[in-house]
Amino acid sequence: MSDVKVCKFGGTSVATAAQMRKVKAIIEADPARRIIVPSAPGRAHSDDAKVTDLLYLTHEMASNQQDIGPVWNRIVERFQGLVSDLGLDLDLSATLEEVRARIQSGAGADYAASRGEALNGLIVAALLGATYIDAAEVVRIAPGRRIDPASHALIRAACADDAQRYVIPGFYGSDQHGQVLTFSRGGSDVSGALAAAALDAAVYENWTDVSGVLAADPRIVSGSRTIAEITYGELREMAYMGASVLHDEAVFPVRERGIPINIRNTDRPDDPGTMIVNRREPGDQIVVGIAGRAGFTVFALEKMMMNVEVGFGRRVLDVFERFGIAYEHTPTGIDTMSVVVADEAIGEGRGEAIAEELRAAVHPERLDILPGMALVATVGLGMNHHVGVAGRLFSALAQAQVNVRMIDQGSSEQNIIIGVEADDLHKAITTIYQEFIAS
């Protein structure tokens, strides 16, 4: 492992000159922060637009033979504004004009969108006195917008001088023919993770506008605590339940190599943020976080002697497969089996058709479709080592009058998932938070 730190800055961290100055101070505070991966400028204020969205819009307008002029001027103002507010000796006019001409004459959506990062990277490099690397030359993107492992050697070769800082714009790269491609939205996270993996970084610092991952959604639990340390596995459970932290694909490259991710706040650089690690010692901490979301339906089947009927489960799941539906959970009892499915996977009006097929497939004595369910995951490695966690969880919920409709404890024993009425979602999360985290 090298001592280099790869620092990715999200859109809000590079949206204005004032934010950019914070970035400069952060980078200069630590000589190991040598690789900088910036996003395109995000919203400068709440009713502003993200540069990436404006760029997609110019592409769309150009494809409809419309004049991109007015939208393009807004983009130019954002970039020229940054250059002049930062007092940089950098003339972007020719580059901007070339980009405008290419978009107006039909360049692809990926090319258009990628220019937010490409242009911003030039500004960040000028601000930091760093070497600019065009991501198209070092980030190879394979079909499906996935990382092509060939990128690793290219990044290593381009960042070979330990005495230099390098700026690699996020979000884009190119295919094997040199055609510019982007990752999916939010993909600068992926670029940062790739650079960290390629350089075997000591840490991947992901700078954003929050001081880390919160133990619960702050819209539900106000003043929710920041998680100091969480494993990749625990984070995955939280993310599955809707806690949005990082782009999904940003985790794999670093996780694989055991490189920790540190989520940091550009506005509060002294906050330690959240460390995402491969392994940790939970100590006395039982629960690390709670996440939940509504929008699930349960297909509840009941049949006497189901437990000895060979192939019952397979036939049930086969029906869902035929409908092209991935199921979320299948809690079972001796004579019961439930299949929990996300509403968006069922789609409008297919519930009855699925029930029909289930009846034909396994002849249940009873089959109920129970819509309006929410799932809540209580996550924490510490649950493994403590007696009575489930007892505490369920008595707290009972006291709060939350009716638990389903229980599923994953074999990893780092989570307990419960199903509650969608109306009880917030109450359930608040209750569990009070029981295990606030106290």
CB of 423 to ligand ASP, least distance (A): 34
Q: Does 116 bind ligand ASP (CB under 6 A)?
A: yes
Q: Does 11 bind ligand ASP (CB under 6 A)?
A: yes
Query: Contact at 8 Å (CB) between 10 and 208?
Result: yes
> CA 283, CA 172: separation in Å to the nearest integer?
41
Identify which of residues 135 and 216 has a Cβ nearer to ligand ASP in the complex.
Answer: 135
Q: Does 261 bind ligand ASP (CB under 6 A)?
A: no
> CA 259, CA 262: separation in Å to the nearest integer?
10
Q: Does 121 bind ligand ASP (CB under 6 A)?
A: no
Q: Does 170 bind ligand ASP (CB under 6 A)?
A: yes
Residue 341 to residues 311, 414, 426, Cα–Cα distance (Å): 20, 22, 20
What are the tokens at 252? 């794999």
Number of residues near ligand ASP (by CB under 6 A):
13
> CA 301, CA 288: separation in Å to the nearest integer?
34
181 sits in which H/E element: strand 180-182
Enumerate helices (H) and strands (E) in the chain, giving the number of each.
Answer: 15, 17
> CA 345, CA 324: separation in Å to the nearest integer?
8
Q: Does 171 bind ligand ASP (CB under 6 A)?
A: yes
Query: Contact at 8 Å (CB) between 118 and 134?
Result: yes
What are the tokens at 326? 């991935």
* Position among 12, 13, 151, 188 found at the interface with ligand ASP (CB under 6 A): 188
CB of 116 to ligand ASP, least distance (A): 5
Q: Does 12 bind ligand ASP (CB under 6 A)?
A: no
Span from 77-85, 141-149, 187-195, 234-242 in contact with ligand ASP (CB under 6 A): 187-195
Number of other residues whose CB lies within 10 A of the CB of residue 413: 13
Q: Does 169 bind ligand ASP (CB under 6 A)?
A: no
Identify which of residues 190 and 437 has a Cβ nearer to ligand ASP in the complex.
Answer: 190
CB of 358 to ligand ASP, least distance (A): 40
Query: Contact at 8 Å (CB) between 86 and 123?
Result: yes
Span from 65-73, 186-194, 300-308, 412-420 in contact with ligand ASP (CB under 6 A): 186-194
> CA 36, CA 121: separation in Å to the nearest integer?
9
* Position among 5, 33, 34, 50 found at the interface with ligand ASP (CB under 6 A): 50
Span from 181-189, 278-286, 344-352, 399-407 in contact with ligand ASP (CB under 6 A): 181-189
> CA 354, CA 70: separation in Å to the nearest integer?
50
x/- map, 322-341, ligand ASP, by CB under 6 A: --------------------
Q: Does 39 bind ligand ASP (CB under 6 A)?
A: yes
Enumerate binding residues for ligand ASP (CB under 6 A).
Answer: 11, 39-40, 50, 52, 116, 170-171, 185-189
